[in-house]
Chain A
Amino acid sequence: MKRVLAAIIAGMITFGAVFGLAASLNLTSDSLGAGTAVVAACQGATLNAAYTSTYSAAAPGYTVGTVTVTGLAATCYSKPYKITLSGAANASLGEATGTTPGVGTSFAATFAPAIGGASVTGISVVISG
Protein backbone atom coordinates (compact mmCIF):
# COMPACT_ATOMS: atom_id res chain seq x y z
CA MET A 1 0.00 0.00 0.00
CA LYS A 2 2.85 2.30 0.77
CA ARG A 3 4.24 1.66 -2.69
CA VAL A 4 0.91 2.57 -4.24
CA LEU A 5 0.69 5.80 -2.30
CA ALA A 6 4.26 6.59 -3.22
CA ALA A 7 3.44 6.05 -6.90
CA ILE A 8 0.40 8.35 -6.64
CA ILE A 9 2.39 11.07 -4.94
CA ALA A 10 5.22 10.69 -7.43
CA GLY A 11 2.78 10.92 -10.30
CA MET A 12 1.10 14.02 -8.89
CA ILE A 13 4.44 15.66 -8.36
CA THR A 14 5.53 14.79 -11.86
CA PHE A 15 2.39 16.02 -13.64
CA GLY A 16 2.07 18.92 -11.29
CA ALA A 17 5.51 20.03 -12.30
CA VAL A 18 4.70 19.62 -15.97
CA PHE A 19 1.56 21.75 -15.79
CA GLY A 20 3.28 24.10 -13.43
CA LEU A 21 5.87 24.78 -16.10
CA ALA A 22 3.19 25.16 -18.76
CA ALA A 23 1.33 27.66 -16.62
CA SER A 24 4.45 29.64 -15.94
CA LEU A 25 4.86 30.66 -19.57
CA ASN A 26 3.94 34.34 -19.73
CA LEU A 27 2.25 35.38 -22.87
CA THR A 28 0.15 38.38 -23.66
CA SER A 29 -1.58 39.23 -26.85
CA ASP A 30 -3.22 42.20 -28.43
CA SER A 31 -6.67 41.51 -29.65
CA LEU A 32 -7.20 40.30 -33.16
CA GLY A 33 -10.49 40.00 -34.86
CA ALA A 34 -11.30 39.58 -38.47
CA GLY A 35 -14.46 39.36 -40.43
CA THR A 36 -15.90 40.02 -43.83
CA ALA A 37 -19.21 41.54 -44.69
CA VAL A 38 -20.77 42.23 -48.04
CA VAL A 39 -21.56 45.90 -48.73
CA ALA A 40 -24.67 45.82 -50.82
CA ALA A 41 -26.87 48.48 -52.37
CA CYS A 42 -30.24 48.94 -50.76
CA GLN A 43 -31.98 48.21 -54.05
CA GLY A 44 -31.20 46.80 -57.43
CA ALA A 45 -33.92 48.52 -59.40
CA THR A 46 -33.05 51.56 -61.49
CA LEU A 47 -33.59 55.04 -60.14
CA ASN A 48 -34.42 57.90 -62.48
CA ALA A 49 -33.59 61.55 -61.95
CA ALA A 50 -35.79 64.25 -63.43
CA TYR A 51 -35.03 67.95 -63.38
CA THR A 52 -37.18 70.92 -62.62
CA SER A 53 -35.94 74.12 -64.17
CA THR A 54 -36.89 77.66 -63.34
CA TYR A 55 -36.01 80.81 -65.19
CA SER A 56 -33.75 83.13 -63.26
CA ALA A 57 -33.50 86.71 -64.43
CA ALA A 58 -30.48 87.11 -62.17
CA ALA A 59 -28.55 84.28 -63.77
CA PRO A 60 -29.89 84.94 -66.41
CA GLY A 61 -31.16 81.67 -67.78
CA TYR A 62 -32.75 78.47 -66.71
CA THR A 63 -31.57 76.93 -63.46
CA VAL A 64 -32.11 73.55 -61.88
CA GLY A 65 -33.41 73.87 -58.35
CA THR A 66 -35.00 70.48 -57.85
CA VAL A 67 -34.13 66.97 -58.85
CA THR A 68 -36.85 64.38 -58.43
CA VAL A 69 -35.72 60.81 -58.04
CA THR A 70 -38.23 58.11 -58.90
CA GLY A 71 -38.10 54.35 -58.67
CA LEU A 72 -37.32 54.24 -54.96
CA ALA A 73 -37.79 50.82 -53.39
CA ALA A 74 -38.91 50.18 -49.83
CA THR A 75 -35.50 48.75 -49.02
CA CYS A 76 -34.05 52.25 -49.48
CA TYR A 77 -36.55 53.98 -47.21
CA SER A 78 -35.34 56.37 -44.51
CA LYS A 79 -31.70 56.35 -45.53
CA PRO A 80 -29.35 59.31 -45.99
CA TYR A 81 -28.80 60.36 -49.58
CA LYS A 82 -26.53 62.75 -51.41
CA ILE A 83 -27.07 64.04 -54.93
CA THR A 84 -24.42 65.92 -56.83
CA LEU A 85 -24.82 67.72 -60.11
CA SER A 86 -21.62 67.94 -62.08
CA GLY A 87 -20.40 69.94 -65.02
CA ALA A 88 -17.33 70.12 -67.20
CA ALA A 89 -14.52 67.77 -66.18
CA ASN A 90 -16.96 66.20 -63.72
CA ALA A 91 -16.55 69.13 -61.38
CA SER A 92 -19.24 69.44 -58.77
CA LEU A 93 -21.71 72.22 -59.38
CA GLY A 94 -23.77 71.65 -56.28
CA GLU A 95 -24.91 69.07 -53.80
CA ALA A 96 -28.19 68.26 -52.11
CA THR A 97 -28.47 66.02 -49.08
CA GLY A 98 -31.33 64.58 -47.12
CA THR A 99 -33.06 61.40 -46.06
CA THR A 100 -35.15 59.27 -48.32
CA PRO A 101 -38.81 59.09 -47.37
CA GLY A 102 -40.37 56.20 -45.49
CA VAL A 103 -43.16 55.81 -47.98
CA GLY A 104 -43.69 56.24 -51.69
CA THR A 105 -41.44 55.71 -54.66
CA SER A 106 -39.98 59.18 -55.20
CA PHE A 107 -38.35 62.07 -53.43
CA ALA A 108 -37.23 65.55 -54.40
CA ALA A 109 -33.84 67.03 -53.64
CA THR A 110 -33.49 70.78 -53.55
CA PHE A 111 -30.38 72.61 -54.67
CA ALA A 112 -29.73 75.96 -53.06
CA PRO A 113 -28.58 77.95 -54.82
CA ALA A 114 -30.03 76.60 -58.01
CA ILE A 115 -27.59 75.49 -60.67
CA GLY A 116 -27.38 76.76 -64.20
CA GLY A 117 -29.09 74.18 -66.35
CA ALA A 118 -26.77 74.59 -69.30
CA SER A 119 -23.79 73.63 -67.16
CA VAL A 120 -25.18 70.35 -65.90
CA THR A 121 -23.65 67.35 -67.65
CA GLY A 122 -23.92 64.63 -65.01
CA ILE A 123 -25.56 63.54 -61.82
CA SER A 124 -24.36 61.30 -58.99
CA VAL A 125 -26.55 59.70 -56.37
CA VAL A 126 -25.49 57.81 -53.27
CA ILE A 127 -27.80 56.24 -50.71
CA SER A 128 -26.24 54.75 -47.61
CA GLY A 129 -27.18 53.54 -44.21
Chain B
Amino acid sequence: MRAGGLVRRRVGALIKLLAASLQLVPLALATGIFGAAASLSVSSGTVGAATVATPRCTAVGLTVLQNLSAGTVVSVTVGGLPAACGGATLQATVNNGSTFGSGSVAVPAGGGSVTVPLGAAPAVTAAETTDIVVLGP
Protein backbone atom coordinates (compact mmCIF):
# COMPACT_ATOMS: atom_id res chain seq x y z
CA MET B 1 0.00 0.00 0.00
CA ARG B 2 2.82 2.38 0.81
CA ALA B 3 4.51 1.64 -2.51
CA GLY B 4 1.20 2.13 -4.33
CA GLY B 5 0.64 5.48 -2.63
CA LEU B 6 4.11 6.67 -3.60
CA VAL B 7 3.53 5.74 -7.22
CA ARG B 8 0.17 7.47 -7.14
CA ARG B 9 1.68 10.67 -5.79
CA ARG B 10 4.49 10.65 -8.35
CA VAL B 11 2.14 10.02 -11.23
CA GLY B 12 -0.13 12.80 -10.00
CA ALA B 13 2.78 15.22 -9.80
CA LEU B 14 3.89 14.20 -13.29
CA ILE B 15 0.43 14.87 -14.64
CA LYS B 16 0.32 18.30 -13.03
CA LEU B 17 3.72 19.14 -14.48
CA LEU B 18 2.64 17.97 -17.93
CA ALA B 19 -0.54 19.98 -17.76
CA ALA B 20 1.28 23.11 -16.68
CA SER B 21 3.79 22.73 -19.51
CA LEU B 22 1.12 22.22 -22.12
CA GLN B 23 -0.76 25.29 -20.97
CA LEU B 24 2.31 27.38 -21.82
CA VAL B 25 2.36 26.21 -25.43
CA PRO B 26 -0.35 28.56 -26.76
CA LEU B 27 1.26 31.47 -24.93
CA ALA B 28 4.63 30.66 -26.41
CA LEU B 29 3.18 30.39 -29.90
CA ALA B 30 1.36 33.68 -29.59
CA THR B 31 4.46 35.38 -28.31
CA GLY B 32 6.40 34.02 -31.21
CA ILE B 33 3.88 35.26 -33.78
CA PHE B 34 3.75 38.81 -32.50
CA GLY B 35 7.49 38.79 -32.03
CA ALA B 36 7.89 37.99 -35.71
CA ALA B 37 5.62 40.89 -36.75
CA ALA B 38 7.63 43.37 -34.73
CA SER B 39 10.95 42.08 -35.94
CA LEU B 40 10.50 43.28 -39.54
CA SER B 41 13.67 45.10 -40.35
CA VAL B 42 13.76 48.11 -42.63
CA SER B 43 16.80 49.65 -44.19
CA SER B 44 17.01 52.86 -46.16
CA GLY B 45 19.23 54.36 -48.76
CA THR B 46 20.43 57.92 -48.45
CA VAL B 47 18.71 60.96 -49.86
CA GLY B 48 20.16 64.41 -49.65
CA ALA B 49 18.58 67.42 -51.32
CA ALA B 50 18.98 71.15 -51.17
CA THR B 51 17.83 74.23 -53.00
CA VAL B 52 19.63 77.52 -52.92
CA ALA B 53 19.15 80.82 -54.64
CA THR B 54 21.72 81.78 -57.22
CA PRO B 55 23.02 85.06 -55.86
CA ARG B 56 23.91 88.14 -57.84
CA CYS B 57 26.97 90.12 -56.82
CA THR B 58 25.17 93.30 -57.79
CA ALA B 59 21.70 94.45 -58.65
CA VAL B 60 22.59 97.97 -59.67
CA GLY B 61 23.09 99.09 -63.23
CA LEU B 62 26.52 98.75 -64.77
CA THR B 63 27.97 101.07 -67.32
CA VAL B 64 29.07 99.56 -70.61
CA LEU B 65 31.30 101.42 -73.03
CA GLN B 66 32.45 100.11 -76.38
CA ASN B 67 35.99 101.01 -77.34
CA LEU B 68 36.33 101.50 -81.08
CA SER B 69 39.23 101.24 -83.46
CA ALA B 70 39.06 101.65 -87.21
CA GLY B 71 35.32 101.11 -87.30
CA THR B 72 35.38 98.02 -85.11
CA VAL B 73 34.69 97.29 -81.45
CA VAL B 74 37.95 96.07 -79.96
CA SER B 75 37.08 96.06 -76.26
CA VAL B 76 34.36 96.82 -73.76
CA THR B 77 34.76 98.71 -70.53
CA VAL B 78 32.34 97.79 -67.78
CA GLY B 79 32.08 100.12 -64.82
CA GLY B 80 30.12 100.38 -61.61
CA LEU B 81 31.18 96.99 -60.32
CA PRO B 82 30.87 96.82 -56.53
CA ALA B 83 33.38 95.15 -54.26
CA ALA B 84 31.01 92.20 -53.95
CA CYS B 85 31.92 91.31 -57.53
CA GLY B 86 35.62 91.31 -56.72
CA GLY B 87 37.31 88.10 -57.73
CA ALA B 88 34.61 87.20 -60.21
CA THR B 89 35.13 86.60 -63.90
CA LEU B 90 33.42 89.04 -66.21
CA GLN B 91 32.66 87.86 -69.73
CA ALA B 92 31.53 90.23 -72.45
CA THR B 93 30.42 89.71 -76.04
CA VAL B 94 29.59 92.23 -78.71
CA ASN B 95 27.36 90.99 -81.53
CA ASN B 96 26.61 93.11 -84.59
CA GLY B 97 24.17 90.63 -86.05
CA SER B 98 26.62 88.92 -88.35
CA THR B 99 29.73 88.48 -86.25
CA PHE B 100 30.55 88.66 -82.61
CA GLY B 101 33.62 88.97 -80.43
CA SER B 102 34.02 87.79 -76.85
CA GLY B 103 36.49 88.15 -74.01
CA SER B 104 36.79 87.81 -70.27
CA VAL B 105 38.73 89.37 -67.42
CA ALA B 106 38.91 89.02 -63.68
CA VAL B 107 37.21 91.69 -61.61
CA PRO B 108 39.63 93.31 -59.14
CA ALA B 109 39.03 92.73 -55.46
CA GLY B 110 37.65 96.18 -54.86
CA GLY B 111 35.40 96.19 -57.89
CA GLY B 112 35.39 99.34 -60.00
CA SER B 113 35.72 99.02 -63.75
CA VAL B 114 37.33 96.51 -66.08
CA THR B 115 38.16 96.54 -69.76
CA VAL B 116 37.50 93.35 -71.65
CA PRO B 117 39.51 92.86 -74.84
CA LEU B 118 37.51 91.07 -77.51
CA GLY B 119 38.95 88.08 -79.33
CA ALA B 120 37.43 89.25 -82.58
CA ALA B 121 36.51 92.85 -83.36
CA PRO B 122 33.04 93.12 -84.87
CA ALA B 123 32.39 96.01 -87.19
CA VAL B 124 30.44 98.91 -85.87
CA THR B 125 26.88 98.86 -87.19
CA ALA B 126 23.70 100.70 -86.43
CA ALA B 127 22.96 98.36 -83.53
CA GLU B 128 25.31 96.03 -81.77
CA THR B 129 24.29 94.11 -78.71
CA THR B 130 26.63 93.80 -75.78
CA ASP B 131 26.07 90.91 -73.38
CA ILE B 132 27.92 90.55 -70.14
CA VAL B 133 27.90 87.91 -67.46
CA VAL B 134 29.66 87.85 -64.09
CA LEU B 135 30.60 84.41 -62.77
CA GLY B 136 31.53 83.98 -59.18
CA PRO B 137 33.07 84.80 -56.84
Binding site for B on A (CB under 8 A): 1, 3-4, 7-8, 11, 15, 19, 22, 29, 31-43, 47, 49-53, 55, 57, 60-62, 75-76, 79, 85-86, 117, 120-129
Q: Is the CB of A34 within 8 A of B37?
A: yes
Using a Cβ–Cβ cut-off of 8 Å, how many residues does chain B contribute to the interface with A? 40
Interface of A is mostly: mixed
Q: Are B4 and A1 in contact (CB under 8 A)?
A: yes
Q: Select A15's contact among B19, B43, B52, beta carbons within 8 Å.
A: B19
> Closest approach, in angstroms, between the C-beta of B34 and any C-beta of chain A?
9
Q: Is the CB of B48 within 8 A of A126?
A: yes
Q: Separation in Å of the A113 CB from the closest CB of chain B?
A: 17
**B→A interface (CB under 8 Å):** 4, 7-8, 11-12, 15, 18-19, 22, 25-26, 33, 37-38, 40-54, 91, 93, 95, 100, 102, 129, 131-133, 135-136
Complex contacts, A19 vs chain B, CB 8 Å? 22, 25
Instruction: Return the 6 tightest CB-CB contacts between A and B, nearest first.
Output: A41-B48, A33-B40, A35-B42, A126-B49, A37-B44, A62-B133
What number of A-B contacts does a CB cutoff of 8 Å give?
116
Given contacts A55-B100, A62-B133, contact A39 B47 (CB under 8 A): yes
A8 and B18 CA atoms in complex are apart in Å by: 11
Chain A residue at minimal CB-CB distance from B33: A29
